[in-house]
Amino acid sequence: MTATKVHVLNGPNLNLLGAREPGVYGSGTLDDLRRRCEPAAAAAGVDLDFRQSNHEGELVDWVHEAGRDAAAGVTLGAVLNLGAYTHTSIALRDAVSGAGLPAIEVHLSNVHAREPFRDHSHLAPVAIGVVAGLGPDGYAYAIDALARRREHSTRR
């Protein structure tokens, strides 16, 4: 089966994009971010499943859903911007690992140039890779990386 979608899951406070700390996160809104992801998904030949939640349990459920889709060959994987949950949520780390979800961690800002507590990611050890500090382009790069991963695996 050929993958037909990519999941882009956004965590807490990303619904405030455009209003929250524009000097750090830019002036674009979450809807602007979704619109910037659409061409990358189209280039990969997949639909975009773009969501945001401020609730950890809902994000865990979505990671499980994406993991089932990955196991069925329906999705390339997930681009995850878990916001502050990146630094605090072992539950989300375990969800990604337990679901066997190919995931790329993404951050709009360079979290390593900010407060020291942002240096640690619970997600990074179970992610394929991490993109940080490249603004909205980081999402497109992550979608492209998932598509390239699929291309490399089908050539073998």
Q: At a CB cut-off of 8 Å and minimum separation 6, what does 144 contact?
A: 40, 43, 44
Using CA atoms, how far residue 87 sits from 8, 19, 20, 154, in Å, is: 19, 22, 19, 34
The answer to the question of whether 109 is labelled as a binding residue is yes
Write the single-letter amino acid at 126.
V
The answer to the question of whether 27 is labelled as a binding residue is no
What amino acid positions are annotated as catalytic residues?
Answer: 25, 107
The answer to the question of whether 118 is labelled as a binding residue is yes
The answer to the question of whether 110 is labelled as a binding residue is no
Name the binding residues.
Answer: 81, 87, 94, 108-109, 118
Name the binding residues for substrate.
Answer: 81, 87, 94, 108-109, 118
